[in-house]
Chains A and B, each alone.
Chain A
Amino acid sequence: MSPKRSDNTSVLGTLFRCEIKRLMRDARVLLISVFAPLVIVPGYILVMQWIGNSEEQRLEDTVYEYALSGDEVEWGGEIVSAALALEANDPDTSQAIARFERQQVTNADSLLESGEIHLVVEALSPEAYERRSSTEETTTDTLDPEEDEGAPEIEEGSDGGTASELQLPIIRLRFRSNSDFSRRAHDRLDARIREVRSELRDSVYLAGGFPVGREEFASVETENTASAEKEGGALLGMALTPFLLLLMLSGGSIMAVDAITGEKERGTLETLLTSAANRSEIVAAKQMGIIAVGVVVVVINVLNLLAYLVLGFLELPENLAVALSPLDLVLILILFLPLTVLISSTLLLISGYAKSYKEYQIYFFPLFLVFLVPSLAGILPGLDLRSAIALVPIAGVGVAVREIMVAEYDWLFLAIAFASTAAASWWASRLTQRTLLTERLISSSDLDEADLLGGPALFPRHVLRWFVGMWVVFFLTAIWVGGELTLQGQIILNLVVIFLGGSLLMVRRYGLDPRKVFALRPVHPAVLLAVLIGIPAAYFTGIGLSVLVDAYLFPVPQSVLEAFGEVMLDDEIPLWQLVFFICVMPGILEELAFRGVLLHGLRKTWSPVIVCLVTGGIFGLFHVDLFRLIPTAYLGVIFAAVVLLTGSIFPVMLWHFGNNAIALVPQRMGWVTEETVFPEWVFAIAFVALLVVFWIIWKFGIPYPDLKKKKPPDIF
């Protein structure tokens, strides 16, 4: 009996074809999910267009009815007639002329309220205006609030306050903003009355001996330098990513919901998993299926819209003339590639995680938002690739696509936007693979060996949750009470209550050994000596790095750094207190939490390098300010590396203390200021010194015990 098998590609191909075949035979799903949108989406657009057009037509066809009231009706009538003459004889044909008709009525206000007329023009003498204003104030107070909501808006046709001082009559336009017709009547008449006013004023000037026409004060001309292509590109570029993302998500979901959730519900998953196909092939085939269906749905819908455009059923805005070169298209496709993988992995993940269709739908909606929100980044004004948004997966691609469509190529940042989304998709794929390889898929139990052993074995899986919780508490307290606390209060709250409290809770909850968790192990004296050199070396290397970042990646506003400096320079707090609160306490308590508990919890989760990066990154996130994130993350990575190399927390306590002291004391004493510029050779020497320090630490340190070892994946 030979258990030889044919090659992988044919198994993968067989699995993939089977997925597609099964979907293609599900007529109802295909009809509802793929073909219905073909009619619904353009249908929706058509209906919206029709509604918009007919509304516009009605506004144009309407004869607006207005009434005149007040004690200066005659004068008001003249002004309105002049204004309407201007409207009727408008040479500009781009908008239809609004027609008005005067109604001779006595109860103008109540007719306006009941919607029988569109507008009331009140012409008031200054005295009447005064009276009217004061009675309105008193009556308003007595009005029933419900009636008040529907009360007509009051608009003043002239600059009220000054007009009454000058003893001139006043025109008030009363309309209802909740009626399109009333508002339109108001807008037109208001604009025309203002024109009449200007002409009247000019004639007064001329009569008074000022021989200048209005047009001679200033002349304004505008010119749009953006080509139609650029304008269209900007418009389409903003909408493209969210649009395709939506289609991809809904299209891929057709396949995803059936991929694992469906197999679980039907009981075919066990059949499949007991076959010789290995799990990664099964996962890959399903992911390929999701991508294929998602892409097909996207393509069908895009072609469909194009067809409607070509056939003239739909009209694009005039300036949507997009000129895309083949290069642009290739770039956009490349940018969308990791997005596609990210979406398919995530959909497959929730499909594997959900135990039923219902559960899948519960997960799908939040996922939908999680994807949609960053994809809208392209719509945000003023976000270009020079901002840190490129680092945010999906959002970076959204902005990058918009920039490509307006022919702006910033290669470095296109690459970063691609890389950040690609990294996220790689991570999601791995997570999906690993999750789907666990026996949770088939077993009714959600628990495995770690749950079984409980306590310390469970801790590594929960440690990130704890830190997320601590971060939330940290963030919320910073918002709610941060402003009311003194510097000392804030530090005690964060370091003692949140960091130390959280750490001790974890130690207690999981029955951990404090000596191991906090890495309370002795070190070789040479390591401590090396740390003393390492403190200034890392500090200046860090400044050097921030200079590089500032120069080549994105600018760091000086104001942020200064704000940090102000606290340090606060003369109200004595130096010894500053040293205690800013150097000693973080040196001990932040280290216990981050390089102690967090590092201990994650030590076996990833390889040491990843552990350093992740703990560093989390440490950075706890310094909420975006611009302090990178420097603190940088220090966090260094500290984590030192702990892993020495197996002890003491060197980094010293280092952290020293680093904060070096940042604080010379500034406080006035030896250096924000303006101090260090020569570049200082950074170079610092960097070399830092390397030497790490070499010494590596040489004399006893590595952290029990790290993740290379081993075959824990799977079948």
Chain B
Amino acid sequence: MAIANVKVEGLQKSFWDESRGEVRAVDGIDFDCQPGEVFGLLGANGAGKTTTLRMLATILKPTGGSASLNGYDVLADPEAVRRSLGFYSASTALYPRLTGRETLEFFARINGYPANQVAQRVEELIDRFGIREYAGARVGKLSSGMKQKISIARTIVHDPPILIFDEPTVGLDVMAALEMQNVVHELRDEGKVIIFSTHIMSEAEKLCDRIGIIHQGRILALGTLEEHRQATGKHYLEDVFVHEVMQAEDQRANAMASPGEPRTSL
């Protein structure tokens, strides 16, 4: 039995851009997460959060390093990785012409949930998220709050041990964001491995057991909030974040001023 954890080692993703040349969206990231833990990736837009999470979800292929989820390697066994995974992001939309119930049934089935238990599981989730009232209506006609609930239910419908939330609260109002945070806590308490990316400091402070600060494709610092505070001498996560980023920028400026060893190629 594989252990439901996530291991990321030296993960890289590079793109080539005509004007900018090689762009290392993710430049050698290491971290791991355990069941019952919310691991936070905290970074500004463009820091490499989404690229990292998409590599874990096997929709992008790493150009270096390795990652395994639930014991399955993302390169060697991507389908097993996806079966072990629920992926939620602001851009994972639902089919507007399916009803909520059909949506859940569809994703349960294609994620390989045992066929004879699908109906029961779907009803269970409908009750859990309180969506019974509109479970029979087409998703396209629902409000964004209703859609969000169905979308979360869709993410966990096949009961995966690992959940990835990529900036799930982007564009949500306060109540909806709160709802999302509650769901994440519940899932953590159920013993899921949760990776949660955000650029909102308060959210990371409140939700995450450990936080990795990501900047320009690298993790600058990784630890519990308390560890971050001790390392930097700052109390608020926002100050910790700014401190780490400024330090990294300084180092980079120094490195560029005094040419050191050339960057290793891929």
| In the bound complex, CA of A428 to CA of B134 (Å) | 43
Is A11 touching B110 in the complex (CB atoms < 8 A)? yes
For residue B149, CB closer than 8 A to chain A, the reply is no
Residue contacts A-B, CB under 8 angstroms, 12 given: A3-B72, A5-B83, A18-B98, A21-B102, A270-B59, A271-B154, A275-B110, A276-B158, A442-B54, A445-B17, A447-B15, A449-B63
Binds A, one of B111-119, B123-131, B199-207, B244-252: B111-119
A13-55 contacts to B, CB under 8 A, are: 14-15, 18, 21-22, 25-26
User: Which of A274, A276, A439 is the one whose CB lies under 8 Å from B112?
Assistant: A276
For residue A4, CB closer than 8 A to chain B, the reply is yes
Residues of B within 8 A of A277 (CB): 110-111
User: Which of B61, B91, B115, B158 is the one whose CB lies under 8 Å from A267?
Assistant: B91
User: Which of A11, A273, A278, A439 is the one whose CB lies under 8 Å from B61?
Assistant: A439
B197-235 contacts to A, CB under 8 A, are: none
Nearest A residue (CB) for B102: A21
For residue B94, CB closer than 8 A to chain A, the reply is yes
For residue B169, CB closer than 8 A to chain A, the reply is no
Is B14 touching A452 in the complex (CB atoms < 8 A)? yes
Query: Which A positions have Cβ atoms within 8 angstroms of B?
Result: 1, 3-6, 10-11, 14-15, 18, 21-22, 25-26, 266-268, 270-271, 273-278, 439, 442-443, 445, 447, 449, 451-454, 716
| In the bound complex, CA of A716 to CA of B159 (Å) | 22
Is A275 touching B59 in the complex (CB atoms < 8 A)? no
Is A716 touching B110 in the complex (CB atoms < 8 A)? no
Is A275 touching B107 in the complex (CB atoms < 8 A)? yes
A571 CB to nearest B CB, Å: 57
Query: Which B positions have Cβ atoms within 8 angstroms of A?
Result: 4, 14-17, 22, 54, 57-61, 63, 70, 72, 78-80, 82-85, 87, 89, 91-98, 102, 106-107, 109-112, 114-115, 138, 154, 158-161, 266
- Having A14-B106, A266-B93, A274-B59, one finds 7 other A-B pairs with CB under 8 Å, namely A6-B109, A10-B115, A11-B110, A26-B97, A267-B91, A271-B93, A271-B94
User: Which of B17, B95, B114 is the one whose CB lies under 8 Å from A18?
Assistant: B95
B79 CB to nearest A CB, Å: 5
Nearest A residue (CB) for B61: A439
| In the bound complex, CA of A260 to CA of B59 (Å) | 15
The verdict on A268 contacting B82 (CB below 8 Å), with A5-B111, A439-B60, A449-B63 known, is: no
Residues of B within 8 A of A6 (CB): 109, 112, 114-115
The verdict on A276 contacting B110 (CB below 8 Å), with A25-B97, A451-B16 known, is: yes
Query: Which 6 residue pairs across A and B have the least CB separation, nearest first?
Result: A5-B112, A267-B93, A274-B87, A3-B83, A716-B78, A452-B16
Residues of A within 8 A of B109 (CB): 6, 10-11, 14
A425 CB to nearest B CB, Å: 27
Question: Which of B14, B60, B91, B109 is the most central at the interface, judged by chain A CB atoms within 10 Å of its CB?
Answer: B109
B116 CB to nearest A CB, Å: 10
Nearest A residue (CB) for B72: A3
Is B114 touching A276 in the complex (CB atoms < 8 A)? no
The verdict on A276 contacting B95 (CB below 8 Å), with A14-B106, A447-B16 known, is: no
Nearest A residue (CB) for B112: A5
| In the bound complex, CA of A6 to CA of B113 (Å) | 7
User: Which of A273, A276, A445 is the one whose CB lies under 8 Å from B59?
Assistant: A273
A266 CB to nearest B CB, Å: 5
Residues of B within 8 A of A270 (CB): 59, 89, 91-93
| In the bound complex, CA of A288 to CA of B72 (Å) | 31
The verdict on A14 contacting B110 (CB below 8 Å), with A270-B89, A270-B91 known, is: yes
Is B60 touching A443 in the complex (CB atoms < 8 A)? yes
The verdict on A268 contacting B57 (CB below 8 Å), with A5-B111, A452-B22, A452-B63 known, is: no
B55 CB to nearest A CB, Å: 10
Residues of A within 8 A of B111 (CB): 5, 275-277
Is A452 touching B107 in the complex (CB atoms < 8 A)? no
B198 CB to nearest A CB, Å: 18
A709 CB to nearest B CB, Å: 17
| In the bound complex, CA of A716 to CA of B80 (Å) | 11
User: Which of A14, A278, A443 is the one whose CB lies under 8 Å from B79?
Assistant: A278
| In the bound complex, CA of A716 to CA of B72 (Å) | 13
B109 CB to nearest A CB, Å: 4
Is A454 touching B16 in the complex (CB atoms < 8 A)? yes
Residues of B within 8 A of A10 (CB): 109, 115
